[in-house]
């Protein structure tokens, strides 16, 4: 186009056209780089867990999701994988029985290339890959592009999240082989919490265990807390650096963070995501002596004890009904007393945690609710804030009501509430895609 313009322009040709004709290769290089920077990027987001694989193909420009995948019960005989494509997201279910997570991902890559509904027909049409990595230890305080040195450090971090990091690493390796020229980014759950002071991240244990094994609080859900804090600042119309916020990520996993001037200063998850709140199947914080007591009395192995605390406790363990809050709410409404007790405990532990972080900060401007339960359950928000009005967190019952409001970021406290209450919709995959776009975009600058 530039050359044609030059022909038409004749003697009035601008310096750009002259440059194009004199140095065509260099010009095309610059043009390509500029276009690449401006073109929407197709990012494959991979969120590999201990027994699940979540993935989306996202066009970052308009935050458009082109493909969604969810594999559950991965590694078991009843594992299945649902894959759907835009625009109507009709799910197709694939059998992935007994496959490890990286084989499920390999199958997904085949589907992406072969399915007539897929927006791509070759893996080269994926511009970048964004991987969720749970634990980055002290090595990673922000998202990084994965190269050889990063991959080596990721291997060391596996010890910190033995359930979550190894499957993520296995997926990274698989994609490095399948798409060697596509940049991959690691987005860490722990990175946002790298700003915690030592008094918040150290445990009262003999120093040698920190020095030998780096046993300390790392936290998790960092991408979600960072996003929730920024969205709350937008809602409040004030810069994040001026605010004191308590962000509550209440989903199947749960954690609460004190965000002071935009920085995490303390968070409820610890060395692993087991500490803190009561969760779907995780116990959260309990007296550590219970662990050794049960191991002795019931002759439990380390792995069995790990499974009890991570997979059989929490809302599921107390209610005996389900790990899913909707089921437990329904059971409680139908008169199930243990379901009611589970909800009471869940609410009480959140209230105590919010109170603790209120004390940890010099000021609190807002409490922010996000993730499955935080976003969707007006009933639980009602119960949580019923106990916190004396701290200045006063809910507006009408604004709290979800009718027609799901997915809308909003303030749900009364106008005069000294501390505001916000609801923010989280979308982890979109946030990972955006971080990936940012980092990979810098490669082209």
Could you give the C-alpha distances from 208 to 137, 138, 161, 164, 202, in angstroms and in order?
17, 16, 20, 26, 12
Distance CA(128)–CA(65), nearest Å, equals: 14
# of chain residues touching ligand AMP (CB under 6 A): 12
Shortest separation between residue 402's beta carbon and ligand AMP, angstroms: 7
CB neighbour list of residue 268: distance below 8 Å, 6 or more residues apart = 219, 254, 255, 256, 257, 275, 276, 277, 284, 353
What would the x/- binding string for ligand AMP be over residues 62 to 81, using CB under 6 A?
A: --------------------
Shortest separation between residue 251's beta carbon and ligand AMP, angstroms: 2
Burial class (CB in 10 A: 0-12, 13-18, 19+), 379: middle
**Residue of minimal Cβ distance to ligand AMP:** 372
Among the listed ranges 75-83, 124-132, 324-332, 385-393, the one in contact with ligand AMP (CB under 6 A) is 324-332
Shortest separation between residue 250's beta carbon and ligand AMP, angstroms: 8
What would the x/- binding string for ligand AMP be over residues 82 to 121, using CB under 6 A?
A: ----------------------------------------
What would the x/- binding string for ligand AMP be over residues 231 to 260, using CB under 6 A?
A: --------------------xx--------
Distance CA(364)–CA(367), nearest Å, equals: 8
Tokens, residue 248: 């509550």
Among the listed ranges 12-20, 299-307, 319-327, 337-345, the one in contact with ligand AMP (CB under 6 A) is 319-327
Whether the bond between 87 and the residue before it is cis, its omega within 30 degrees of 0, is yes
Shortest separation between residue 422's beta carbon and ligand AMP, angstroms: 17
Distance CA(182)–CA(398), nearest Å, equals: 49
Distance CA(138)–CA(135), nearest Å, equals: 9
Query: Which CB atom, from 171 or from 378, has the smaller least distance to ligand AMP?
Result: 378
Query: Which CB atom, from 172 or from 329, has the smaller least distance to ligand AMP?
Result: 329
Query: Which CB atom, from 56 or from 376, has the smaller least distance to ligand AMP?
Result: 376
Shortest separation between residue 252's beta carbon and ligand AMP, angstroms: 3
> Which of 371, 411, 421 has its CA nearest to residue 391?
421
Distance CA(79)–CA(180), nearest Å, equals: 29
Give the largest CA-CA distance in the chain. 93
| Angle (deg, nearest 10), helices 288-298 and 302-311 | 130
Considering 127, 189, 266, 437, which one is annotated as catalytic? Answer: 189
Residue 277 in contact with residue 284, Cβ under 8 Å? yes
Query: Which CB atom, from 279 or from 367, has the smaller least distance to ligand AMP?
Result: 279
Query: Which CB atom, from 103 or from 312, has the smaller least distance to ligand AMP?
Result: 312
According to DSSP, the residues that pair with 267 across neighbouring strands are 257
Shortest separation between residue 405's beta carbon and ligand AMP, angstroms: 12
- Residue list 365-404, contact with ligand AMP (CB under 6 A): 371-373, 376-377
Return the number of other C-beta atoms located less than 10 Å from residue 186's C-beta. 29
Among the listed ranges 80-88, 237-245, 323-331, 347-355, the one in contact with ligand AMP (CB under 6 A) is 323-331
Query: Which CB atom, from 143 or from 255, has the smaller least distance to ligand AMP?
Result: 255
Residue 256 in contact with residue 377, Cβ under 8 Å? no
Query: Which CB atom, from 373 or from 388, has the smaller least distance to ligand AMP?
Result: 373
Query: Which CB atom, from 309 or from 323, has the smaller least distance to ligand AMP?
Result: 323
Shortest separation between residue 114's beta carbon and ligand AMP, angstroms: 30
Shortest separation between residue 326's beta carbon and ligand AMP, angstroms: 4
**Which of 326, 352, 397, 410 contacts ligand AMP by CB under 6 A?**
326
Residue 280 interacts with ligand AMP (CB under 6 A): yes or no: yes
**Which of 48, 157, 191, 325 contacts ligand AMP by CB under 6 A?**
325
* 89-98 CB burial, b ≥16 within 10 A, e <16: eeeeebebee
**Which of 115, 117, 306, 324 contacts ligand AMP by CB under 6 A?**
324
Residue 37 in contact with residue 441, Cβ under 8 Å? yes
Residue 261 CA neighbour count, 13 Å, CB half: 3
Task: Establish whether 189 is a catalytic residue.
Answer: yes
Which chain residues interact with ligand AMP by CB under 6 A? 251-252, 280, 324-326, 329, 371-373, 376-377
> Which residues are known to be catalytic?
189
């Amino acid at each position: 186009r530039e050359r044609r313009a030059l022909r038409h322009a004749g003697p009035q040709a601008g310096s750009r056209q002259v440059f194009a004709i004199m140095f065509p290769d260099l010009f095309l290089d610059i043009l390509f780089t500029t276009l690449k920077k401006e073109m929407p990027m197709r990012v494959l987001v991979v969120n590999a867990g201990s027994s699940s694989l979540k993935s989306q193909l996202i066009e970052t420009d308009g935050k458009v999701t082109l493909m969604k995948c969810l594999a559950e019960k991965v590694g078991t005989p009843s594992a299945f994988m649902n894959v759907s494509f835009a625009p109507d997201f009709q799910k197709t279910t694939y059998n992935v029985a007994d496959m490890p997570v990286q084989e499920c991902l390999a199958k997904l890559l085949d589907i992406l290339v072969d399915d007539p509904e897929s927006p791509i027909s070759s893996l080269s049409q994926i511009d970048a890959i964004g991987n969720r990595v749970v634990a980055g230890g002290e090595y990673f305080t922000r998202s990084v592009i994965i190269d050889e040195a990063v991959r080596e450090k990721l291997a060391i971090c596996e010890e910190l999240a033995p359930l979550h990091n190894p499957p993520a690493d296995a997926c990274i390796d698989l994609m490095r082989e399948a798409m060697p020229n596509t940049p991959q980014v690691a987005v860490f759950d722990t990175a946002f919490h790298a700003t915690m002071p030592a008094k918040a991240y150290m445990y009262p244990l003999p120093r040698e265990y920190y020095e030998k094994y780096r046993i300390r609080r790392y936290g998790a859900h960092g991408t979600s807390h960072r996003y929730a804090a920024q969205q709350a600042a937008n809602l409040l119309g004030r810069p994040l650096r001026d605010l004191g916020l308590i962000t509550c990520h209440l989903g199947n996993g749960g954690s609460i963070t004190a965000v002071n001037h935009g920085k995490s200063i303390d968070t409820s998850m610890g060395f692993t995501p087991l500490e803190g709140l009561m969760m779907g199947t995780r116990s959260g914080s309990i007296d550590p002596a219970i662990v050794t007591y049960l191991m002795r009395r019931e002759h439990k192995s380390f792995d069995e004890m790990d499974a009890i605390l991570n997979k059989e406790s929490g809302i599921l363990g107390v209610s005996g009904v389900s790990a899913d809050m909707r089921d437990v709410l329904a059971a409680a409404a139908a008169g199930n007393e243990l379901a009611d007790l589970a909800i009471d405990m869940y609410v009480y532990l959140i209230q105590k945690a919010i109170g603790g972080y209120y004390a940890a900060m010099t000021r609190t401007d807002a409490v922010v609710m996000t993730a499955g339960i935080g976003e969707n359950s007006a009933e639980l928000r009602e119960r949580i804030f019923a106990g916190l009005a004396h701290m200045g967190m006063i809910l507006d019952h009408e604004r709290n009501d979800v009718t027609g409001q799901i997915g809308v970021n909003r303030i749900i406290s009364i106008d005069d509430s000294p501390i505001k209450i916000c609801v923010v919709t989280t979308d982890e995959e979109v946030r990972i895609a955006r971080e990936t776009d940012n980092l990979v975009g810098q490669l082209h600058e």
